[in-house]
Amino acid sequence: MTLVDVLDKGYVRLVNHMGSDLTVVNAARVSYAKESTEWSEKDLRLIRFLAREGHTSPFRHVMLQFEIYAPLMVARQWWKYVVGSSHMEGTGDSLEAWNESSRRYITEEPIFYIPNPGEWREKPENSKQGSGQAIEAESGKDYTKKLMDYVEAGVQKYEEALADGICAEQARLFLPAYGMYVRWYWTASLQSVSHFLSQRLEHDAQKEIQLYANAVLQLSMPLFPNALAELKVHTNEDE
């Protein structure tokens, strides 16, 4: 499996990866000029030790590259991890890379995330952020239609501006931004991927980015079942 569909039109695709669970343990063992060629119980014990004691540099020798197609509201939450990676203890700017499509250069048909009537959620009772239970069906239908009308009006004005000769980088101002799908490449170390998953799989994360995090987990776990499991376990315990 290399692609997982998310939401109505989005997806996460595994583009490439480097390394394995053995890469992690061998990166740690190089200090003693030792190397494992086949996975064994002693390797699992070492990975558990590294994760438990916070010796994270060996996990940064493993890399994953994804292509992601998601609404802008998801992309901007995700982007914080790229910015934050350079401030994580013991890490640097090389932890993550991000390249995103831009409507300064492309004028392909804009695509938008439109929640189904049953996907609209009420505000939470005891918090200023997040969401609560699904709203009533009739209200959901009403808000889905309102959003569709709003998107249609914005796209029409965007296309009119382009037809009148307005440059693409300004014409895009007419597009309803937060629900518009964008596409990007995300390359990150296993440690960084684990940090993202530990926070965005939590119950209080925004529902939409939870779905994308779950797709990343589905694609990553078969490649690094031991290292990722131990990192996730100990990261969650620490929070």
Catalytic positions, please?
Answer: 200
Contact of 10 with 75, CB cutoff 8 Å: no
Distance CA 232, CA 73 (A): 25
CA 61 to chain centre: 20
The sign of the dihedral angle between the CA atoms of 166, 172, 173, 174 is positive
Nearest to 4 by CA among 222, 161, 151: 222
Distance CA 141, CA 119 (A): 10
The values of phi and psi at residue 70, to 5°, are -150, 160
Neighbours of 217 (CB within 10 A): 19
Question: Which residues lie below 8 Å from residue 221, measured CB to CB, with a gap of 6+?
Answer: 228, 229
Question: Which residues lie below 8 Å from residue 58, measured CB to CB, with a gap of 6+?
Answer: 24, 25, 27, 28, 50
Distance CA 230, CA 54 (A): 11
Contact of 66 with 15, CB cutoff 8 Å: yes
Please classify residue 32 by burial: count the beta carbons closer than 10 Å to its beta carbon, then call 0-12 exposed, 13-18 middle and 19+ buried. exposed
